[in-house]
Amino acid sequence: MLARAPVSVLSICDHDTLRAYDDLADGGWSTGTPGSAAARPCLLPGVEVTARLPEREIHILGYFPDGLRPGFRAWIDEREADRRARVRAGVAALRNDGIPLRWADFDAEVAGGVPCRSHVARCLVRIGWPRNPETLYSGFMNRSRFAMTEVRTGEVIAAIRDGGGVAVWAHPPEAEVARHGARLVEEGLAGVEVFSPAVRGRRREVALELAQRHGLLLSGGTDSHGGARKRPGWYRVTAGQVSSELLPMAVGGMA
């Protein structure tokens, strides 16, 4: 499906893991010029890293136009292991509180991937818990059971930069831009995601204002978490909208 995606540049930014690129390593994919004989999109290596502000988590995208370095891969492997441990500890807390979520069902839902609270939510809904889905995250999967990462934004941004990447704030919430935007720029943030289904209206205006005020790069993407409708190419960002520094090369047409 990815090989037939109607895009010129494709970046797979999974949460806290680079496993997608290991799976594609032997498939003849290019991280250079689009338009190969196989007409495949050019791959832009990327990842979405969970980072800690004092009171909440945000996501920092790392884009690597010159490819991935072994040192950064090792650091991301640590982040993946931490995510696995935190999510499994949350499932154990649910079970200890009497919620009949079976490990076999949870492992089947994750299907060998990297777990997140969405996997847990689907398992809970499948067994009829909770009766009110609005309480999934605020109640059943709150932070007393599912701990936030302890890795701060400064460490995440530094790791991306040291690995040769560009650090971009993913789908920045309007209120957090006001509270923490300048601080993240001081820590080395290089860009902000402004073209995304999750960033519209006033939220996009605020993100653009942050970028213009501090000379940040502009990025965009689908923020797709799967589903039959959200296939590659369902949401388009043109190469002209994305700062050229984020791309493996200047690309015409669709990105």
- Helix H or strand E encompassing 163: none
- Whole-number pLDDT of residue 229: 55
Q: Judge if pTM exceeds 0.85.
A: yes
- My answer on whether 167 and 233 are in the same domain is yes
More confident residue, 25 or 176: 176
- My answer on whether 132 and 92 are in the same domain is yes
- Whole-number pLDDT of residue 236: 79
What is the torsional sign of CA 181, 183, 186, 188? negative
Q: Which residues span the domain enclosing 99?
A: 85-140
Name the percent of the chain lying above pLDDT 70.
84
Whether 99 is in a domain gets the answer yes
- My answer on whether 132 and 14 are in the same domain is no
pLDDT band at 130 (very low <50, low <70, confident <90, very high): confident
- My answer on whether 156 and 65 are in the same domain is yes
Whether residue 252 has pLDDT greater than 50: no
**What is the mean predicted confidence (pLDDT) over 214-224?**
90
**What is the mean predicted confidence (pLDDT) over 109-123?**
94
- My answer on whether 241 and 159 are in the same domain is yes
In terms of C-beta density within 10 A (0-12 exposed, 13-18 middle, 19 or more buried), how is residue 174 classed? Answer: middle
- Helix H or strand E encompassing 113: none
Q: Please enumerate in sequence order all residues whose Cβ is within 8 A of that of 181, keeping only pairs 6 or more positions apart, or say none.
A: 172, 210, 214
Whether 130 is in a domain gets the answer yes
Total number of domains in the chain: 2
- Whole-number pLDDT of residue 241: 87
pLDDT band at 238 (very low <50, low <70, confident <90, very high): confident
Structure tokens that stand for 68 in this block = 């991935």
Whether residue 221 has pLDDT greater than 70: yes
- My answer on whether 64 and 161 are in the same domain is yes
- My answer on whether 121 and 240 are in the same domain is no
What is the torsional sign of CA 89, 95, 99, 105? positive
- Whole-number pLDDT of residue 109: 95
Question: Collapsing DSSP states into helix, strand and coil, what is residue 124?
Answer: helix
- Choose among 214, 212, 196: nearest CA to 204: 196
At 176, which amino acid appears? E
- My answer on whether 162 and 234 are in the same domain is yes
- My answer on whether 25 and 49 are in the same domain is yes
More confident residue, 3 or 157: 157
- My answer on whether 133 and 193 are in the same domain is no
Whether 252 is in a domain gets the answer no
- Other beta carbons within 10 Å of 84: 16
The DSSP 8-state label assigned to residue 42 in this structure reads E
Whether 192 is in a domain gets the answer yes
- My answer on whether 217 and 109 are in the same domain is no
Examine the fold and report which residue of 140, 163, 186 is the final residue of a domain before the chain moves on: 140
25-74 pLDDT per residue, tens? 655 555 554 444 455 678 899 999 999 998 899 999 999 998 999 999 99
- Choose among 76, 59, 60, 58: nearest CA to 21: 76
How far is Cα 215 from Cα 65, in angstroms, rounded to an integer?
19
- My answer on whether 161 and 196 are in the same domain is yes
Whether residue 245 has pLDDT greater than 70: yes
Structure tokens that stand for 3 in this block = 């090989």
CA dihedral 126, 110, 223, 179 (to 10 degrees): 90
- Whole-number pLDDT of residue 237: 84
Whether residue 148 has pLDDT greater than 60: yes
The DSSP 8-state label assigned to residue 136 in this structure reads I
How far is Cα 203 from Cα 3, in angstroms, rounded to an integer?
33
What does pLDDT average to over the chain? 87
